[in-house]
Chains A and B, each alone.
Chain A
Amino acid sequence: MISFDKVSKIYPDNSVALKDVSFSIEPKEFISIVGHSGAGKTTLLKMFLAEEKPSGGKVYFESVDIHSLNKREINHFRRKIGVVFQDFRLLSHKNIYENIAFAMEAAGRSDEEIEADVPHVLDLVDLGKKIWNFPKELSGGEKQRVAIARAIVNQPDIIIADEPTGNLDPLNTHEIVQILKKINDLGTTVILTTHNKGVIDSLGKRVVTMENGKIIRDDKNGRYVI
């Protein structure tokens, strides 16, 4: 489904973020990418989201080279992916309903679909009662659940969670990981990057370990080993 083929990223100051990275991700897989800060995890995700172009190598999604797509095709491609960030990145001047509706509007969904799906997806993350609140009125855990609701509302093929528990306490961390697991159980591919050993060890899923821009381990039922 997704494959990285000898992907490298060298910045103009000659710092190497990725070096000949090759691996594949199967449909419905739950994969965790771990590594120290600066190991290249976020750069890898940026390559997949077409936020940055690789200096060498190719990134394929369903046999299509992502970086050969034009702007319009990239927009369509991104609608197949839901992204969750460590810092939530909710739109502060929109309420929770509008934050989620926005992603649906961008995907060209009708008003009727939006009115039906937004309350439903908020119920799934247990935030049905906060539908008209603004992000600043929510706790960190609640914000992250809104971000997950926004990521899944368009029923994407893939969820990318870039250190989603980095700003959360253990209880909220556990809740977020459970939600991601549930999403994966329903058939969505999940790519998770994290520093949290407890999270990785509790998942018992595939773990790719990175160091200095290279993959140093790829374990099917991995644990956090650095």
Chain B
Amino acid sequence: MTWIKIKRVITSGFFNFWRNGFISLSSILVMMVTLFVIGATIFSGAILSSTLQEIRDKVDINVYLVRSANENDILELKKNIEQLPEVLLPVVYVSRDLALANFKKRHENDQFTLQALDELGENPLGATLNIKAKDPSQYETIAEFLQNQSTLSPNGESIIDKVNYYQNKAAIDRLSHIINSANRLSFILTVFMIIISILITFNTLRLVIYMSREEISVMRLVGASTMYIRGPFFVAGAIYGFISAILTLIIFYPITIWLGGATQSFFVGFNIFSYYTSHFGEIFLIIVGSGVIIGSISSYLAVCKYLKI
């Protein structure tokens, strides 16, 4: 008997959806706006985190070592630094020779500089260690650690010549602050947009069900149970959500292709179309799940008001 009831509720839900063509169409369009906002939020979240990651990757601190530093001491220092939990591996060691080669390459069109370098007769550059922290806020700890290093060169001086953290401290702190604020703001905006969209959908479905209020009262008066009255609206709401979700996913396809090139060049290395295709499974589940849940729950709640008879 229960199976017959479920079958009837589902069939009735499909008929409600199909025969209220115009109402169904307008509900689907409104739900598409909601799901589009949710999708856009996913994309902007991905763009934001990719951009922030890009910026994070660009921040590092360089430890300039004295020219007389022994390579074994440098490698020992590198090993010690790599043992810090705040440090993102690997710490890059740029030897004196490599530093010179890099310098020459950077100035290959600058004959005066290269000439001056030749006249010096020896390599004026010291080795460096490039360190990246897992989080920008952790650079201070790393810098403090470096300051307390007491490895000495054969000349009896500290092998660490200079740590550029203190020159860049203000910029790093600022960046750290911007990243935290951007994350917080994007979270608040996401929640706000999603709540607004859900409310719009809820109100639209409430209007749809308002138009059926007489029908609901008739159902009540012929002795239909609450589940029997609510069921078809619940099913129709889920269908609205499912179809809106599929249409939204289809619309995202040309939009992301169109925006792909622009995002690639604007947000270095982030192509929105590649992101869409590589994360399609997750996005599909989020959009379809949101559509079906918002549609069915909104309908379920909206019918309550008319079930009091």
Which positions in A face B, CB cutoff 8 Å? Answer: 49, 51, 71-72, 75-79, 83, 89-94, 98, 102-103, 105-108, 110-111, 150
Evaluate whether A83 and B221 lie within 8 angstroms (CB atoms) in the complex, with A89-B214, A94-B15, A106-B228 already known.
yes
Residue of A at shortest CB range from B224?
A106
For residue B45, give the distance in angstroms from its CB to the closest CB of chain A.
Answer: 41
Evaluate whether A91 and B223 lie within 8 angstroms (CB atoms) in the complex, with A51-B309, A106-B228 already known.
no
CB < 8 Å neighbour of B223 from A51, A92, A106, A110: A106
Number of residues of chain B lying within 8 A (CB) of chain A: 21
For residue A61, give the distance in angstroms from its CB to the closest CB of chain B.
Answer: 14
Residue of B at shortest CB range from A52?
B309
Q: Which chain A residues border B16 with CB–CB below 8 Å? A: 93
Q: Does B6 contact A (CB under 8 A)?
A: no
Q: Total contacts A to B, CB within 8 angstroms?
A: 51
B223/A111 in contact, CB under 8 A: no
Task: Report the bound CA distance from A71 to B222 in whole Å.
Answer: 13
CB < 8 Å neighbour of B218 from A89, A93, A98, A110: A89
Task: Report the bound CA distance from A49 to B8 in whole Å.
Answer: 26
* Seed contacts A75-B225, A106-B228; 9 additional CB < 8 Å A-B pairs: A75-B224, A78-B220, A83-B222, A89-B217, A92-B215, A93-B20, A94-B15, A102-B219, A105-B228
Task: Report the bound CA distance from A72 to B224 in whole Å.
Answer: 10
Q: Which chain B residues border A77 with CB–CB below 8 Å? A: 223
Q: Which chain A residues border B309 with CB–CB below 8 Å? A: 51
Evaluate whether A91 and B215 lie within 8 angstroms (CB atoms) in the complex, with A105-B8, A108-B1 already known.
yes
Residue of B at shortest CB range from A98?
B15
Q: Which chain B residues border A90 with CB–CB below 8 Å? A: 218
Q: Which chain B residues border A107 with CB–CB below 8 Å? A: 222-223
A93/B219 in contact, CB under 8 A: no
B223/A76 in contact, CB under 8 A: yes
